[in-house]
Chains A and B, each alone.
Chain A
Amino acid sequence: KNQVEQSPQSLIILEGKNCTLQCNYTVSPFSNLRWYKQDTGRGPVSLTIMTFSENTKSNGRYTATLDADTKQSSLHITASQLSDSASYICVVSADNAGNMLTFGGGTRLMVKP
């Protein structure tokens, strides 16, 4: 069964600190992996999309890595801000169709002043 596991489930950090969120998956075949940020009461917003051949992709203070061999991805947030407080969801796609996505349970990040 295709699964996406994220860790930690929740995380509290101080403003200005860095953090790294983990995503392990067993989805096969593999097409791409996305990281979404979901603010409370909002829909998910895409941060990065990575395909099999991409190892690292950055979007401002967010940097995602992908190791397709070990089926692991990480999302590193640099110099955290209060507005980074949200759930971060890892989504793995077996192809490019919306019905072939497997969502992780998310990591709830709280940034405190």
Chain B
Amino acid sequence: GAGVSQSPRYKVAKRGQDVALRCDPISGHVSLFWYQQALGQGPEFLTYFQNEAQLDKSGLPSDRFFAERPEGSVSTLKIQRTQQEDSAVYLCASSPLPGRFIEAFFGQGTRLTVV
């Protein structure tokens, strides 16, 4: 596709349920970033991939959060045993340059609501 695609657009999960959020980056983009955006706030960094390697996961808030990009393209952000504080928009961004955000493009995000 022409842009970064995220699915689903909206997800409602019961507390304690596991969820998986998908990001399809722009074809050929080396870098992939995940961000968490709480209502009315700016995005907060979660994790960064260069190809299939997860080079930085310092922003993941707990060990319930797990991200992978096994073939260096599509990425999945998994949240286990969801809690209400996990409710947020999860944004994915990709960039053609390794380690550089300067040319990154964002997807439209997945809005997760934990009830």
Contacts and interface: CB of A to CB of B under 8 A. Distances in A.
A90 to B, nearest CB: 8
B31 A98 contact: yes
B91 interface: yes
A42 B108 contact: yes
- Find the residue from A93, A98, A101 having the highest chain B CB count within 10 A: A98
In terms of DSSP, what is the predominant structure of the interface of chain B? loop
Interface in B73-115: 91, 93, 95, 99-102, 104-109, 111
B45 A44 contact: no
A89 B45 contact: no
A99 B42 contact: no
B4 A99 contact: no
- Interface size bracket, A side: 20 to 34
A78 to B, nearest CB: 25
Given A42-B109, A49-B102, A98-B45, A105 B40 contact: yes
Nearest to A98: B101
A32 B45 contact: no
A43 B40 CA distance: 13
A43 B107 contact: yes
Contacts, number: 63
Interface of A: 4, 32, 41-46, 49, 89, 91, 93, 96-99, 101, 103-106
B59 interface: yes
A105 B41 contact: yes
8 contacts: A41-B109, A42-B109, A43-B106, A43-B109, A97-B99, A98-B31, A99-B33, A99-B59
A104 B42 contact: yes
B56 interface: yes
A104 B4 CA distance: 23
A96 B109 contact: no
A101 B63 CA distance: 23
A103 B107 contact: no
A45 B58 CA distance: 25
A83 B74 CA distance: 32
A106 to B, nearest CB: 6
Contacts of A44: 43, 91, 106
